[in-house]
Amino acid sequence: MRALSKTVTILVFVFLYIPMLVLIVASFNTGTDMVVIKGYTLANYNALFQDGVLLPLLLNSIIISVIAALVSTVLGTAATLGIHRMGKRMRRFAMFLTNIPLTNPEIVTGVSLALLFAFAGQLMKIKTILGFGTLLIAHITFNLPYVILSVQPKLTQMDPNLTAAAMDLGCTPVQAFFKVVLHEILPGVISGALMAFTMSLDDFVISYFVYGPGFVTLPVEIYNYTKKPLHPKIYALFTLLFLAILLVMLLMNILQARDTARHPGSPAAAPKKRRKLDTRRTES
Amino acid sequence: MKRQFLSGPYLVWMLVFTIIPLAIVVYYAFTDSITGAFTLENMGAMGTYFPIFLRSIWLAVVSALICLVLGYPVAWCIAQEKPSAQRFLYMLVMLPMCISFLLRTLAWVSLLEDTGIINRLLGAIGIGPLPLVRNDGAVILGMVYNYLPYMIMPLYTVIMKIDHRLVEAAQDLGCDSGQVFLRVTLPLSVPGIVSGITMVFVPAVSTFYISQKLGGTTSTMIGDVIESQFKTAYNPNLGAALSLVLMVLVLACVAVMNRFTGEDESVATI
């Protein structure tokens, strides 16, 4: 039983990483094919840094992800504070709204936003409404639920007397928030922001329906590229991105390990990226 | 309490950017593309797409079940490790998802092609070339590959939380390891199984890239049809009708799946 599970696990990890290996090897290939290895070179990396298109696209992706993550974190954290104080019925309604983008297939979210923007464009008589603004709106919309779901558990765990104590000691409600509540929920806020950032950076399906020619992100343009044979400098870009993400994740891992070592009582920090689909979430 | 109003901007945002767009989808689904008049024509066309819907559901269900069979042992093995090793392995499961899924799918194409890596290895030992790509099997492989982490995550969370004393109690009462699994571990991981299956099924049934690259001419999925209505065929009304049916279908599936976990038990993924 145990041996079988171990074997399956090892095979699954091999399965998960084989395509990555193919991409990484292809990035050093002198030929343009992903499969036929002609020789090893760094020319693709050189071409990547000479290329004036891919890096600006990556920058576009990063710009939109940072702004979308910031806005959705602020909006989402405020919303969670509000939802926390709501009556049962209002809270149920708010959580219902939160669950819609999580449960809907991405393509439906993309299509519905595309139709909304087309409709708004007609109303405002603007021909090219699609662009940075529409992309940002879409990203904030699909990020918000992730922020809320990651802040909410921290807020429920918090001792409600803390706020009262702070106010007894002379804090205004705003001061109580910044000095006490924010400190308590900060891990949730940060993990929500990180999740939002990675969701935005990766997103292809929704962006594909709401992007305009004026502002294109990397995943969308990659899709347009994949209709033709790819230049291996794209593999070089993704090898570098892979290494960067690996580094960030390892760093977070070490920080978490330290954090748990320092507070042995606290439950192991919850894993980060997760989708949630049940529609009837109840307070625990 | 005043603090409730902090959620005001959020509620307005979600109304404007999720509820109203969905209302517009419904509006488009029931209007004519040229005159804008009410029509049932788009919904009537659904009959033509019925086989595609059916195939999408079939491929997604098969993928979700394969993900379950592959993902369960992985989640279980990770949960048996020391906490630090658990975090590291969990990170390894998530890491591939951070890399463009378009490129990873393309990498599979180059692995599976007639002149691809696998067929050349097989050719070296005198087999093949096997038709590994451009069929439904390749589409399922692509979906399993892309969505397997979504299965492992909730399973791991649930298995990790199982009280080990229950396992020990079962062993004390004479269960062998197979019985412990069937009578204790498996029943307790049902919430994770349910949420894993939903988390794989929903993106798999609506995918539109994997089938274009890995599938053959007959493996068109409903996502491909919707995409083409918006991007090449320019019939947003038909596209909206298809999206509406897809959405209702997915919501129905999620609702049915949630039944399995009981009325007030939250599915164990936060």
pLDDT in tens, A137-180: 999 999 999 999 889 888 888 888 888 888 899 888 888 888 88
pLDDT tens for each residue of B2-15: 677 888 899 999 99
CA–CA gap between residue A165 and residue B191 (Å, rounded): 39
Give the Cβ contact number of residue B74 at 10 Å: 26
- Rounded to a whole number of angstroms, the distance from the CA of B226 to the nearest CA of chain A is 8
Q: What is the pLDDT of residue B219?
A: 79
Domains in chain B, CATH or no CATH each? 31-259 (1.10.3720.10)
CATH code: domain of residue A93: 1.10.3720.10
ipTM comes to 0.88
Enumerate residues 34 to 63 of chain A having a beta carbon within 8 A of any beta carbon in chain B.
34-35
> Is residue A278 in a domain?
no
Report the pLDDT value the prediction gives residue B262, as an integer from 0 to 100.
55
* Predicted pLDDT of residue A61: 93
pLDDT beyond 60 at B43: yes
Q: Which of B7, B24, B200 to mutate to test the interface with A (most CBs of A within 10 A)?
A: B7
How many domains, in total, are found in chain A? 1
Q: What percent of chain B stands above pLDDT 90?
A: 41
Give the model confidence (pLDDT) of A26-57 as tens digits: 888 887 777 777 778 888 888 888 888 888 99
Across the interface, of B74, B145, B223, the residue whose CB is closest to A107 is B223
Is the per-residue pLDDT at B32 higher than 90?
no
Nearest by CB to residue A204, choosing from B24, B94, B102, is B102
Residue B265: what pLDDT?
Answer: 42
Domain assignment of residue A216, yes or no: yes
Cβ–Cβ pairs < 8 A, chains A and B: 286
Q: What is the pLDDT of residue B71?
A: 95
Burial A214-238 (b: 16+ CB within 10 A, else e): ebbbbbbbbbebbeeebebbbbbbb
Taking an 8 Å cut-off on Cβ atoms, the answer to whether B269 and A249 are in contact is no
CA angle in degrees (0–180, nearest 5) for A73-A78-A83:
120
Does A105 fall in a domain? yes
Domain that holds residue A180: 42-262
Q: Check: CB of residue B131 under 8 Å from CB of residue B113.
A: no
**Within a domain: A240:** yes
* Closest chain B C-alpha to A115 CA, distance in angstroms: 7
Q: Are B222 and B49 in contact (CB under 8 A)?
A: yes
Give yes or no for residue B218 having a pLDDT over 60.
yes
A115–B145: do the CB atoms touch at under 8 Å?
A: no
pTM attached to this predicted model: 0.86
SS3 B166: helix
pLDDT confidence of residue B260 = 74
Does residue B263 carry a pLDDT above 60? no
| Helices A106-124, A132-157: crossing angle, 10 deg rounding | 130
Residue at A33 is within a domain: no
Residues 151-180 of A with CB under 8 A from B: 153, 173
Distance between CA atoms of residues A138 and A211, nearest Å: 9
Name the band, by pLDDT with cuts 50, 70 and 90, for residue B64.
very high
pLDDT score recorded for residue A231: 82
Q: Indicate the pLDDT class of residue B131, thresholds 50, 70 and 90.
A: confident
Looking at residue B232, its pLDDT comes to 87
User: What are the chain A neighbours of B246 within 8 Å (beta carbons)?
Assistant: 105, 107-108
Task: Calculate the average pLDDT of chain A.
Answer: 84
What is the structure's pLDDT at A263? 64
Q: What is the average pLDDT across A56-78?
A: 94
Distance separating alpha carbons of residues B51 and A172, to the nearest angstrom: 63
Residue of B19, B74, B99, B100 to mutate for A, most A C-beta atoms under 10 A: B100
Q: Which of residues 191-250 of A touch B (CB under 8 A)?
A: 198, 201-202, 204-205, 209, 218-219, 222-223, 226, 230, 234-235, 238, 241-242, 245-246, 249-250
Name every chain B residue with its beta carbon within 8 A of the beta carbon of A148.
Answer: 10
Q: Nearest CA to CA, how far is A17 from chain B (Å)?
A: 7
Residue A215: beta bridge partners?
Answer: A212
- pLDDT band of A264, cuts 50, 70, 90: low
Confidence grade of residue B255 (pLDDT, cut at 50, 70, 90): confident
Which of A5, A26, A222 lies at the smallest CB-CB distance from B102?
A222
Residue A256 vs residues B86, B116, B156: alpha-carbon distances, Å: 12, 41, 18
Classify residue A25: in a domain, yes or no. no
- What are the pLDDT digits (tens) for A112-144? 999 999 989 988 888 788 889 999 999 999 999
| Inter-chain CB proximity A1 and B28 less than 8 Å | no
Task: Report yes or no: A142 at the B interface, CB cutoff 8 Å.
Answer: no
Q: Is A35 contained in some domain? A: no
A9–B78 CB contact, under 8 Å:
yes
Q: How far apart are CA A220 and CA A222, in angstroms?
A: 5
Helices B101-112 and A218-225: angle between axes, nearest 10 degrees: 30
Contact state of A113 with B21 under an 8 Å Cβ cutoff: yes
Q: Are A206 and B17 in contact (CB under 8 A)?
A: no
B92: which chain A residues are within 8 Å (Cβ-Cβ)? 13, 16
Q: Decide if pLDDT at A266 tops 60.
A: no
Contact A274 B7 (CB under 8 A): no
Q: Is A11 inside any structural domain?
A: no
Q: According to the model, what pLDDT value does residue B5 have?
A: 80
The tokens of A198 are what?
């990675």
Across the interface, do B261 and A278 touch by the CB < 8 Å criterion? yes
Distance CA B41, CA A182 (A): 54
Nearest to B95 among A81, A118, A249 (CB): A249
pLDDT of residue B246: 94
Mutate to test the interface with B, among A1, A111, A182, A284 (most CBs of B within 10 A): A111
Band (pLDDT 50/70/90 cuts) for residue A280 is very low
Give the confidence band of A272 by pLDDT, cuts at 50, 70, 90.
very low
**What is the pLDDT at residue B196?**
92
Q: Is residue A11 within 8 Å of residue B191, measured between CB atoms?
A: no
Burial of A55 (0-12, 13-18, 19+ CB in 10 A): middle
Q: What's the confidence (pLDDT) of residue A283?
A: 36
